């Protein structure tokens, strides 16, 4: 069995980051008027205080497009230079075509190959690893990887256990080949995995080929998010810790070498459990879920851009990105910023 940690000889660099969140803010106080909950209940159990909600006319590709433009501007590249676009999402504009193709049209990336991936909250890090392979083999030179979600379109707004968790947004990075070997923001190592035995603990049961939405079941909200909270918590903590340790071991580093960890922004209790067990102090943990909630594939991407733009991570820092998602999937990447 191959080692799940794969090294890439530091040949790929992140040359730009970007993010976008919708203008509308849905606070815990707003949710108190919608379901039987309270600001104290939500904050104490999740750490979330508010989340962003897309406008009625905004699709996932619209959010992704804005994040892409930000990342392109940060990288100083034109749309014509992009030859690969990957969008990680579980809330695509449609079953087909790929949301990435809509982004391609919106930004004018006429030379790009485009496709979506579905790995839930781990999808953005899956996208980074996939793009590394394309770049390292010489098949592509410049990749745009986007995590984007309009989860408000998939939430059961009468289910107080799930509707308080999720928000909308998008984050993006531009990756290129490191030609001189001296550039910063290198992707050093990654570890990815999944466990299909746990597909039922976090899923949307209806809307696909296994359970189409019909007039007979339309009132059951089968096309909305269902979650077994306790099982997700246990699996997430174990998976994210293991993925982080594997990715660090791939470049002979340990938790003590980490300058900043940017975990999936799902739940503050999960984040604290992981960092406490690994001995990573709070001041080295980047958290913004209080403002945005869980934006699934967009969460780590948005957090990385915010950490970059605010100076929370600095040149030379060892940065760990780590996520878990439905499937169950998990992923971690180690960067030297």
pLDDT at residue 11, rounded to an integer: 81
Question: Do both 27 and 171 map to the same domain?
Answer: yes
Domain that holds residue 154: 5-177
Give the model's confidence band at 181: pLDDT under 50 very low, under 70 low, under 90 confident, else very high.
Answer: low
Q: Is the pLDDT of residue 205 over 80?
A: yes
Is 15 a residue of the active site? Answer: no
Q: With 0-12 CB in 10 A as exposed, 13-18 as middle and 19+ as buried, what is 234?
A: middle
| CATH number of the domain encompassing residue 329 | 3.40.47.10
d(CA 322, CA 131): 17
What is the maximum span of the chain, computed from C-alpha positions, in angstroms?
A: 61
Question: Do both 224 and 151 map to the same domain?
Answer: no
Structure tokens at 155: 């939430």
Question: Do both 170 and 214 map to the same domain?
Answer: no
Question: Do both 306 and 326 map to the same domain?
Answer: yes
- Of the three residues 177, 201, 235, the one that is the final residue of a domain is 177
Question: Do both 116 and 67 map to the same domain?
Answer: yes
Collapsed DSSP state (helix, strand, coil) of residue 38? coil
Domains held by the chain: number:
2
Question: Do both 294 and 191 map to the same domain?
Answer: yes
Helix (H) or strand (E) holding 251: none
Instruction: Choose the catalytic residue: 101, 114, 121, 163.
Output: 121
pTM exceeds cut of 0.85:
yes
Distant-in-sequence, close-in-space partners of 125: CB < 8 Å, separation ≥ 6: 190, 192, 300, 321, 322, 323, 331, 332, 333
Q: How do residues 28-46 score in pLDDT, each as one tens digit?
A: 999 999 999 999 999 999 9
Collapsed DSSP state (helix, strand, coil) of residue 189? strand
Is 121 a residue of the active site? Answer: yes
Question: Do both 168 and 197 map to the same domain?
Answer: no
């Amino acid at each position: 069995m191959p080692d799940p940690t794969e090294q890439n000889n530091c040949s790929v660099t992140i040359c730009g980051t970007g993010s976008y969140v919708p203008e509308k803010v849905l606070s815990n106080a707003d949710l108190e008027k919608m379901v039987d909950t309270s600001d104290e209940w939500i904050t104490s159990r999740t750490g979330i205080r508010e989340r962003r909600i897309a406008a009625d006319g905004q699709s996932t590709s619209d959010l992704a497009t804005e994040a892409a433009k930000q990342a392109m501007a940060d990288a100083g590249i034109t749309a014509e230079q992009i030859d690969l676009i990957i969008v990680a999402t579980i809330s695509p504009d449609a079953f087909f075509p790929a949301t990435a193709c809509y982004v391609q049209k919106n930004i004018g990336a006429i030379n790009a190959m485009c496709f979506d991936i579905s790995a839930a909250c781990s999808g953005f890090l899956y996208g980074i690893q996939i793009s590394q392979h394309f770049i390292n083999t010489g098949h592509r030179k410049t990749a745009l990887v986007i995590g984007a979600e309009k989860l408000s379109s998939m939430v059961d707004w009468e289910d107080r256990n799930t509707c308080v968790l999720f928000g909308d947004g998008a984050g993006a990075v531009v990756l290129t080949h490191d030609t001189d070997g001296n550039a910063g923001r290198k992707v050093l190592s990654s570890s990815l995995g999944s466990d299909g035995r746990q597909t039922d603990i976090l899923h949307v049961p209806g809307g696909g080929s296994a359970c189409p939405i019909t007039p007979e079941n339309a009132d059951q909200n089968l096309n909305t998010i269902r979650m077994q909270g306790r099982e997700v918590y246990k699996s997430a903590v174990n998976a994210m810790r293991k993925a982080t340790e594997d990715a660090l071991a791939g470049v002979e580093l340990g938790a003590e070498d980490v300058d900043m960890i940017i975990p999936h922004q799902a739940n503050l209790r999960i984040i604290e459990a992981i960092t406490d067990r690994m001995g990573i102090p709070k001041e080295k943990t980047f958290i913004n879920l209080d403002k945005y909630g869980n934006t699934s594939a967009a969460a780590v991407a948005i957090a990385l851009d915010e950490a970059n733009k605010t100076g929370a991570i600095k040149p030379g820092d060892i940065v760990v990105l780590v996520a878990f998602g439905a499937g169950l999937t998990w992923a971690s990447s180690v960067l030297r910023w």
